[in-house]
Structure 1
């Protein structure tokens, strides 16, 4: 997700680099290790950067490393990067040597936005890393907590369904509606209420955009001035300051509310309440200060608002392109709905085909195709190769999910492959790594079930499903390049 390049100064950068091609050459700290993974040819200074920058780096990495096999070593500027493109390699990194590869590389934009990488997703390996992840797993995103927000998900789903009903068969931007729903769910779950208005929406859009922008200073430090010249550093700092001001207001609002209603346990806590309670009740040496709380909230916004909506949008896109699958899913949902006005979460557990459709969507359209980059903390022997400490690691989950040696007809949308399968969303099956999105799937299942239960969705102007543009673009997540415009007509 860190290679989407949007800087208009890139030609200037290349010109500047060419001037110095014969003056500075890449050195390789890995030469002391004799058995390195196979690597691709690279240019001085920039290494392989020019081969992966663009809108779809996951596809570029497949082209770049397919001759090298499941492990390949490339250079992004001065940074050695190990690319893993097989389930076996992913298992070795994420399970066998998980401690060695648990840290994260220092990324300039992320570091600025998340208070020095104090968040859940990007904090480097160490005591803070252990404590903040423990809080996330045990307190924020456990099954009981996710279930406690069931009412929020159902209320917001009903609002979206009613909004579509009011369209009277006219053209709607389904992706925009689903995005609005997920924003409202995440706001209510995290902050206790929704936030609408151009100012908040603009801030959230700029925040998520920056998380997917390439920062040249991460890979060629002596060219970090380019990020300043382009205005990237200034824009990042401005977003960080605006988001900090917003989150400070949220914290004060919650602290004051707690003082006024202290002792009232009848109301479901939002995640800010949970974090503030942990802060007050802290009995360990770990300090959950305000910056850590705000950084954690930013992670939840990033993961919740973007990946959730993109999964539903891709699922509807595939269903429109595959009418047989759509009819089969509508039949299953209708059987369990039994004439209700809408589907509720209690109905979802038995809808195995619904779950299969979403799993197949996640396989073909992995929300984070390159997961989150990792960094080795020490030398390690990996699949017979010597990997030096400080090597950045990219797992191409998108390539693994389309590996023809693992998946029959790997490029086709076939939900049936997941029926009677034990593969789930938790990341324990290394041929299927959708980023552990338990919270997101609770929303996706409910929204998708209600959409296909209540409406038939067709493309405008009589276009056939196979004509739907499925072009993709990668920023923070893998999303549709063009809006999903449909005409929805009531079924019940």
Structure 2
């Protein structure tokens, strides 16, 4: 617009806009200014981008690993839960003892060597003490208020303290020795009947029943083995719980597709099992509360649920111990202890029947000690170093849980030059670690003698042998599991000689596993027993 001055008498000058012809030079100048501004802005963004990239390049890279597909990542490459540890072991041969995976939208790393296990589980134990949240585990553990699946927090520390101090202390474990002895003697009577009738002994079924009975009597104060429909209900529930712990829920890995779990019925199945188990735990609690009204004077008659109910009554902890806490702890004991003891004993007998030299040697040691005794007690076992070596070798080669319970990084951490970000799931492949040729001579050979002159043990200090885990998350029930395991194996080998059914050779015995957190022998171990005495 062109400005024209108008003067009027007695008035002040004013500016009046008037039309002005279109000015190309002004338009070009304006466009040039805009372009210059955009160029400066682009240059600034490029500088910031390259500066950020330069800083990012200074950070360590993530561990190497197989490339995955968009959204689903590597899920399709790991589709067999029964051989999950083997698939991870094969990948470690390609990508190294520390490699990464993308399971849906969740980043993971896998550890496959003793050196790196020590780095993560000892040197950075606090960083990796978290637990990833999986739907089945959280639901059945009452949102993780117990020991195994709880996140690392003050509540977990208090519950773990309760378990270690009041349930798994040496005095309490000793108090339960009479239960263990009685039930093992009952097992010997059952096998003796098989001998008398020349009947084959299914060790899988026998040992699952035995372990279940021992744990139920120790935890609940009663057995569920000889109660008709009650037996069926109980064992079906335990099997269902095991299945849910290792079940695949889409929502665990791709949350926005969680509706698939509802369509497939997984949500409904999980809810049903939880309600059934909750009802079972409540019946146990009500039964023991009723028993307590009889004023038991003998403290040795107390079982685990009694101890927990008494602690709830005392209210001497920083957390308010509820019935849900008690139920969640009972779940840990029932599921973790029953299956692992049975599976380990079956694997031990499988390894021994395939290695007659070792079988003969361990039986000679046991029988030399028990010449004048038809039962090997827990005090006797302290004098059996080769038996202990056999059990260590079994736990090395055929540990019942090939993968330790998964952990989660609480914060970013650098391991072996690689960056592991917070919220990354960490799988420790104990099966691969315990067969590492750099840690073990002839790792595939069942050779218990390797432990006779070695101080290596499974108590969490030697990272070549970690069947019970290590660090803050080590299995608190170790002190109760080992005496049970030793007692069962010692008396199976002391009382009977074992033979394969006619037509079978030791080469026919396999080590195939069933899927699950605890991996049982897929094909049952069926043997003929002969009385030694």
TM-score (ref. length: structure 1): 0.91
Find the counterpart in structure 1 of residue 73 from structure 2.
47
| TM-align CA RMSD | 1.6
How do 1:109-128 residues align onto structure 2 when only pairs under 5 Å count?
109-128=136-155
SS at match of 1:201: helix
Q: Shift of the alpha carbon at 1:337?
A: 0.7
Find the counterpart in structure 2 of residue 233 from structure 1.
267
Q: Shift of the alpha carbon at 1:246?
A: 0.9
How do 1:13-28 residues align onto structure 2 when only pairs under 5 Å count?
none
How do 1:4-403 residues align onto structure 2 when only pairs under 5 Å count?
33-54=59-80, 55-167=82-194, 168-196=197-225, 197-261=231-295, 264-403=297-436
Consecutive unaligned residues in structure 2, runs of 5 or more? 1-55, 226-230, 469-476
Contact 2:158/2:318 (CA < 8 Å) preserved in 1?
no
Q: Shift of the alpha carbon at 1:94?
A: 1.2
Contact 2:158/2:317 (CA < 8 Å) preserved in 1?
no
Q: Shift of the alpha carbon at 1:286?
A: 0.9
Consecutive unaligned residues in structure 1, runs of 5 or more? 1-29
> Cα deviation per residue 1:160-183 (whole Å; 9 max; x = unaligned)?
110011013311211110110000
Contact 1:308/1:440 (CA < 8 Å) preserved in 2?
yes
Of 385-394 and 430-439, the range deviating more from structure 2: 430-439
Contact 2:396/2:465 (CA < 8 Å) preserved in 1?
yes
Contact 1:365/1:478 (CA < 8 Å) preserved in 2?
no
* Equivalent-residue separation in structure 1 for 2:243 and 2:306 (angstroms): 28
* Equivalent-residue separation in structure 2 for 1:448 and 1:331 (angstroms): 14
SS at match of 2:65: coil
Q: Shift of the alpha carbon at 1:258?
A: 1.7
Q: 1:284 to 1:468 in 2, by over 3 A?
A: closer
> Cα deviation per residue 1:428-477 (whole Å; 9 max; x = unaligned)?
11110111733222111111111111111111124222221221233121
Q: Shift of the alpha carbon at 1:34?
A: 4.0
* Equivalent-residue separation in structure 2 for 1:169 and 1:470 (angstroms): 26
Contact 2:352/2:358 (CA < 8 Å) preserved in 1?
yes
Find the counterpart in structure 1 of residue 41 from structure 2.
none
Q: Shift of the alpha carbon at 1:31?
A: 9.5
* Equivalent-residue separation in structure 1 for 2:389 and 2:347 (angstroms): 14
Pick the aligned partner of 1:453 from 494, 502, 512.
Answer: 494
Q: Shift of the alpha carbon at 1:198?
A: 1.2
* Equivalent-residue separation in structure 1 for 2:483 and 2:260 (angstroms): 42
Q: Shift of the alpha carbon at 1:287?
A: 1.1
Of 318-327 and 212-221, the range deviating more from structure 2: 212-221
The higher radius of gyration belongs to 2
Q: Shift of the alpha carbon at 1:399?
A: 0.3
1:444 aligns with 2:444: no
> Cα deviation per residue 1:387-412 (whole Å; 9 max; x = unaligned)?
11111111000000000111111011
TM-score (ref. length: structure 2): 0.84
